[in-house]
Amino acid sequence: MAEFLKVGVLENRVKKMGKKIKMRMKSRMENKKRKVESAKSNKEESFLTGIQGFDSLVDGGFPTGMATLVEGGPGSGKTVFCLNLAINACKKGKKVLYMSFEEPEFRLRSHMKNFGWDSEQYEKNGKLMIRRFNALDIARSVEALLSEAKKELLIDVQPVLIPKDFEPDIVLVDSLSSIASAFSGEESRFRIYMEQLFRYLESHKITSFLIRETANPTHLGGIFVEPGEAVSFLSDGIISIYSVFYETGRRGRALEIIKLRGTDIKRMVMEANIVKGKGFVVYNTPLKGKYKLT
């Protein structure tokens, strides 16, 4: 009888353990499912540039609402990089605003055409807006708004910058340096304006890429303070495009991601180029040989 009882108790225990194991497995499966779903939804919320060879440097892409500086010297390829990114975003159904403070709209359209990118199609269907702005007009409007706002120093950047009736997912600014020069002598105003702009982009969940011209990449030890320097600390990410000068006399291009808050990045200077009929290309090869970055 005692034996029989023991067997019964054991059977019950096994049954209970089985139940527990099943429940644990079920909860583990549910947790896993939840994690995958959350990762999926995070992925959906992040933005991949579609630039050849670039996205593998950024784990999971740019989270929505991030502001990234695209910096580099003259002719390094900042505009081509951003135009390439703009057309790729349009292809994915995103609404894109390209704000130029330098080249006129027709020239940017022509650059895109040269690479075989049909910007007109997206401009017609309202997915793309390429607009040239006058930085001096902006500086004047900011001044007027600031004198109205007086102590608060809070201005509404929308009427000064983002066109009405267009709600973009992605904004490209070409370039912050041009805006900064229009504020020359009024650096504190530029700073206030930038703070408002970055806040606006973030609160409207707009992912932005802002070009900044650098005579010398700042992190390479340059001591010269450039126009627009104030924005470095406001940005979530920095992409540097370099012009490479090899000892052999050859010139090349390279790209590096300096920072991207909350994201794992490949920290390496990668070979890059601007390829006819293709656009901006990042190669899966770190820079080799003797060279200087400019």
Ligand X SMILES: Nc1ncnc2c1ncn2[C@@H]1O[C@H](COP(=O)(O)OP(=O)(O)OP(=O)(O)O)[C@@H](O)[C@H]1O
Picking from 182, 279, 163, 180, the residue whose alpha carbon sits closest to that of residue 234 is: 180
**Shortest gap between Cβ of 272 and ligand X (angstroms)?**
11
Task: Report the residue closest to ligand X, judged by CB.
Answer: 79
Task: Decide if residue 79 touches ligand X (CB under 6 A).
Answer: yes
- In whole angstroms, how far apart are CA 226 and each of 71, 213, 239? 12, 9, 17
Task: Decide if residue 228 touches ligand X (CB under 6 A).
Answer: no
Specify the stretch interacting with ligand X by CB under 6 A; choose among 88-96, 110-118, 144-152, 181-189.
Answer: 110-118
Write the DSSP assignment of 138-204 as a string of letters.
Answer: HHHHHHHHHHHHGGG----HHHHTSPTT---SEEEEE-HHHHHHHTTT-HHHHHHHHHHHHHHHHHT
Specify the stretch interacting with ligand X by CB under 6 A; choose among 39-47, 75-83, 87-95, 146-154.
Answer: 75-83
Q: Which pair of tokens denotes residue 121?
A: 């199609």
Count of residues that bind ligand X according to CB under 6 A: 14
**Shortest gap between Cβ of 75 and ligand X (angstroms)?**
4
The item of Mg ion, ligand X, none sharing an interface with residue 184, based on CB under 5 to 8 Å by kind, is none
Task: Decide if residue 79 touches Mg ion (CB under 5 A).
Answer: yes
Cα–Cα distance, 50 to 92 (Å, whole number): 9
Specify the stretch interacting with ligand X by CB under 6 A; choose among 107-115, 140-148, 157-165, 190-198.
Answer: 107-115
**Among residues 54, 69, 78, 176, the one that binds ligand X under rule CB under 6 A:** 78
Specify the stretch interacting with Mg ion by CB under 5 A; choose among 77-85, 123-131, 227-235, 257-265.
Answer: 77-85
Buried b (16+ CB within 10 A) or exposed e, 112-141: beebebebeebbeeebbbbebbebeebbeb
Q: Which pair of tokens denotes residue 191?
A: 């700073």
**Among residues 74, 116, 159, 222, the one that binds ligand X under rule CB under 6 A:** 74
Q: Which pair of tokens denotes residue 194?
A: 């930038």
Contact characters 161-200, ligand X, x per CB under 6 A: ----------------------------------------
Contact characters 126-145, Mg ion, x per CB under 5 A: --------------------
228, 62 contact by CB (below 8 A): no
**Shortest gap between Cβ of 101 and Mg ion (angstroms)?**
10
Specify the stretch interacting with ligand X by CB under 6 A; choose among 13-21, 68-76, 197-205, 259-267.
Answer: 68-76
Task: Decide if residue 227 touches ligand X (CB under 6 A).
Answer: no
42, 60 contact by CB (below 8 A): yes
Find the helix or strand (DSSP H, E) in which 291 lies: strand 291-293
245, 294 contact by CB (below 8 A): yes
Residues of this chain that interact with ligand X (CB under 6 A) are: 72, 74-80, 111, 114-115, 213, 274, 276
